[in-house]
Amino acid sequence: MSSQKTLIVVVGPTAVGKTAMGIALAKYFKTSIISADSRQFYQEMSIGTAKPTKEELAEAKHYFIDSHSIATDYTAGDYEREALQCLEELFKTTDVVIAVGGSGLFVRALTEGLDDLPKAPEEVRESLNQSFREHGLQPLQARLKEVDPTYYAKADIENPQRVIRALEVFEASGKPISHFLKNETMKRPFDVISIGLNTDRAVLYERINRRVDIMMEQGLLAEVQSLSSYKNKPALLTVGYAELFDYLDGLISLEEAIDRIKQNSRRYAKRQITWFKKYGQTHWFEPNDPQAVLEFLSEKLPKK
């Protein structure tokens, strides 16, 4: 594969407009989109993950949307392997591919590679997930701080999936996850240009609140009900699903669940912005200005 190949990665907070920007770029470069969203892979999770609509999917070829079932465990490592294979095929016929996603771990898996972490037995994962359901995140955070203060100090400890994964590694190996994290960037056979989208915080928060209302109108509660048998899966311990499971379990009212989804989505957006600002070489733009992005890319991309 020639080093003249380029992966353009569109990142940023939830609800900022990454899907629209990705499609605009894919149409301009006459190319495909690889999703780097940790939940849009799952066929059964559509409303709460804000998947591209049928109309949007028709505008550009997408990969890793509805590609797996929630019944199957799918890790960032699995994604790294499959997405690189997909890119290898795509780059045979095009010089540019677009990736779109707000999941920092999956973007990193695609662009830099992940450390090879021990896999925990199913019962360990189930036990940790059950603990989170019954007692919340705080006891798990306290346990992580105790067994791995190094990782605790730098990890996104507000993310249940990250905390649980770190504890899984400790339970499976007897060693803290920080022992395995080499932080070595793996050389990719393509260049990476990272485009970040962000806007005024008040505008973004209003978009998030409105999106949650639209999701509820579209039937998010019914979607969550249909996934009850999978509620301990890591992908369902996330914003938009965990809060409605709490409602269905009688722990909170529906109104409180919706308020919590909005609040937790806003918090998640803030963490996403922090992650992408400190990680990698991301160039930032307003989401409604594809022309500015294209002008920037025309300077950055290899000249024919």
Say whether 274 counts as a known binding-site residue. Answer: no
Instruction: Please give the pLDDT value at position 279.
Output: 74
Q: What backbone torsions phi and psi does residue 288 show, to the nearest 5 degrees?
A: -95, 25
CATH code for 6-115+186-217+270-300? Answer: 3.40.50.300
- Annotated binding-site residue? 14: yes
The answer to the question of whether 282 is labelled as a binding residue is no
Cα 201–11–288 angle (5° rounding)? 60
113 is in an annotated binding site: no
Rounded-to-10 torsion of CA 209, 239, 45, 7: 90
15 annotated binding-site participant: yes
Average pLDDT for 196-211: 97
User: Which of 197, 171, 201 has the alpha carbon at shortest distance from 283?
Assistant: 197
Annotated ligand binding at 12? The verdict is yes
Domain at 122-180, CATH class: mainly alpha
Check for a shared fold between 6-115+186-217+270-300 and 122-180.
no
For the segment 213-265, what is each residue's pLDDT rounded down to a tens digit?
A: 999 999 999 999 999 999 988 899 999 999 999 999 999 999 999 999 999 99
Rounded Cα gap, residues 246 and 253, in angstroms: 9
Going from N- to C-terminal start, the domains of the chain cover: 6-115+186-217+270-300, 122-180
